[in-house]
Amino acid sequence: MDNEQMLDRLKDLMQLDYDAVQAYDKVIQKLDDPAVRGKIESFRDDHIRHVNDLDAMIVLKGGRHQEPSRDFKGVLLESVAKLRSMTGTIGTLKANEMAEKQTNKRYAEAVRQDFPTEVMALVSRNYEDERRHLDYIQRTLAERA
C-alpha cells in the first residue's frame, strides 16, 4: 500500500469515528440508567480520542490536518440513533449496537491492511476499544431482555 492509500484509509476511519461521536451525542441524554450512561459517555470519549489520534497519525505520515464534518452516512446514523433513542435506554443501546457493529466491521477490515508498524498499533488499539464497546452493549441488552 502506498502512502496516499494509507492516508485515505486513515481518513476513512477518522470519519467513521467522527460519525460515531455525533451519533452518541444525539442519544446520551436519552439514557435513563446512570451506569449505562456513564459507560456510553466513556465510549463517546474513546471515539473522540480515536479522531484526534488518527488525525495526528495522518499529519505524522505526511498528510494534512483533517477537519472532520458530517457526511451522508453520519447524518443517517445520527437520525436512526435519535429515533431509536426515543424508547429510552434499550432503544439507545440498540442504536449504539448498530453503529458499533459497523465500526467493528470497518476496523476489522483495517487491521488486515499492510500498515506500517506504528499505524497498525494505533488501528489495533482503536479496534480493541470498538470490540469492548460492542461487547458491553450486547451484554447489557441481553441482561435486559
pLDDT at 63: 96
Given the candidates 3.40.50.880, 1.20.1260.10, 1.25.40.10, 3.40.30.10, the CATH classification of the domain at 3-144 is 1.20.1260.10
Neighbours of 73 (CB within 10 A): 12
**Cα separation, 83 vs 34, whole angstroms:** 20
Q: Which amino acid type is present at position 122?
A: L
Q: What percent of the chain has pLDDT over 70?
A: 87
pLDDT at 24: 87
pTM: 0.87
Tens-digit pLDDT profile for residues 48-99: 999 999 999 999 999 999 887 665 454 445 555 555 555 578 888 888 898 8
**Cα separation, 86 vs 89, whole angstroms:** 9
Map out the domains of the chain as residue ranges. 3-144
Residue 58 backbone phi and psi in degrees, to 5: -60, -45
